[in-house]
Amino acid sequence: MTKACVKWKEQLLEAALTGTAAGDLEEHMKTCAACAAEFEVLQARRERMDTMLPLVARGAELPGEFRARVVAAAEAESERKRARSVGRWVLVGATAVVTAALVMGLLLHWRAAPTTLEAELSAAERLAEWRAPSDVLLQIPGQEILQTTPRLGESYMKVPINTEEE
Amino acid sequence: MGSSGSGVTGACVEALIARVEAEERGAAFGARVAENQRRVFQIAYGVLGNAADAEEVAQEAFLRAYQKFASLREAEKFRAWVNRIAFRLALNRQRGHRRRLARDTVWHVAGTSDAVDGARSAEERVLVQRLRSEIESLPEKFRRVLQLSIVEEMGAADVGAVLGIPAGTVRSRLHTARKLLLEAMK
C-alpha cells in the first residue's frame, strides 16, 4: 500500500467488513495491486475474525447437571427464606407476649401498692407524730397549766383544769 | 369429632395444594432455566472468559430470577430479565477481578491462562486470547455491544434490551466495533 493509497484505507476496511467494494474503490483496485492485495488480506482477516469471535463467548460449555443444580439451589434458598420468615414471626410473637406480660405485671403492681407520693406523705405524717420515749422525762410539774397559758388580761385561776384524770 | 376430622382434612388439603404449587413452580422454573441456560452462560463467559466464573454468574442470575419468578412467568420477560441480570453480574465480577488483579500482579499472570479455556487448539487459544484482549481495549460502548452480539441467539433487539439502547444503535455500534477490531487485529 503506497502513501498515495492511504486515503483508501477506510473504504478498504468497510469493503472487507461488508464484502463488497464501492464503485470507486473497485476501479482503484483494478489499477492498484497494493490496494487489491490489502483488500484480500483484510477480507481473510475478517473471515478469520468472524470464525473466532463466537469462541470468545461460546468457547466453553455448561456441565450437564447445571439445570438440576440451579433448581435444587433455588428451592433450598426458598425453603431457607421461608424458615427464616417463620422464625422471625415466632420471635415477634414471643416478644409481644413477654412485653404484654411485663405491662400487665406492672399495672397489677401499681394497683396493689399505693403510689409513691402517697407512701411518702404517709411516712412523713408518721414521722411528725412520733415522740421519743425520753419526751416524758422532759415534762415539768404544771406543764399542763403552762400549755394553756392565759391570754393577756386573764388569770391562771380561770384556766380550766382538767379534772377528769383525777 | 366430625369438625375435628374436617379440620385435619382441610389442613392436609392446604398442605397438599402448597406442595403441588411448589412442584409446579419448580417445574416451570426448571423449564425456563433449560431454555435460557446456554445463552446466560455465554453472556457471562463472553465478559469473564472463565468457565467457572461464568457458571457461578449464571447460577446467581437464575437464583435471583427464582426470587422474582412470580412476575417473570412469561418466557419473554424471563429471557430479557435474566439476560440483563447475568450481564450486570458478570460486569460486577469482572470489576472485582480487576481490583484484585491490580493488587496482585501474580494473579494477573495466572488469570490470563484461564481466560481462553474454551478454545480448542493452541493456535485458537492464542487467537481467542488476542481477540479478547483487543475487545477489552475497545471503547466501552462498542465493547459491550460486541460482547453481547457474539452470544448465540442474541439479536440486535436482545442486545438493545440488555443495554437499554435501540436496535439500530446496536447495529451501528456493532459495525464500528468490528471495524476497530479488524484494524487492531493486524
Picking from A52, A67, A73, the nearest residue to B63 by CB comes out as A73
Judge: A13–B43 Cβ closer than 8 Å, yes or no.
Answer: no
The pLDDT of residue B108 is 43
Domain B112-186: give its CATH architecture: Orthogonal Bundle (1.10)
Judge: A53–B62 Cβ closer than 8 Å, yes or no.
Answer: no
Picking from B37, B118, B186, the nearest residue to A55 by CB comes out as B118
What number is the average pLDDT over the span B109-132? 67
List the grid coordinates of B37. 441456560
Q: Give yes or no for a contact between A115 and B66, defined as CB atoms under 8 angstroms apart.
A: no
Instruction: Please give the model's pTM, rounded to 2 decimal places.
Output: 0.67
Picking from B22, B128, B146, the nearest residue to A55 by CB comes out as B128
DSSP A133: G
Looking at chain A, the whole-number percentage of residues with pLDDT higher than 70 is: 83
B161-179 per-residue burial string, b: 16 or more CB within 10 A, e: under 16: bbbebeeeebbebbebbbb
pLDDT higher than 70, residue A158: no
Judge: A59–B118 Cβ closer than 8 Å, yes or no.
Answer: yes
pLDDT tens, position by position, B137-174: 999 999 999 999 999 889 999 999 999 999 999 999 99
DSSP B34-90: HHHHHHHHHHHHHHH--HHHHHHHHHHHHHHHHHTGGG--SHHHHHHHHHHHHHHHH
Picking from A17, A54, A78, the nearest residue to B182 by CB comes out as A17
Residue A46 touches chain B, beta carbons under 8 Å: yes
Residue with cell 479488524: B182
Within 8 A of B128 by CB-CB distance, chain A residues are: 52, 55-56, 59
Q: Where in chain B are the domains?
A: 9-107, 112-186
Domain B9-107 grouped into CATH 1.10.287.110: no
Residue A40 touches chain B, beta carbons under 8 Å: no
Cβ of A72: how many Cβ atoms within 10 Å? Answer: 13
pLDDT tens, position by position, B29-46: 889 999 999 999 999 999
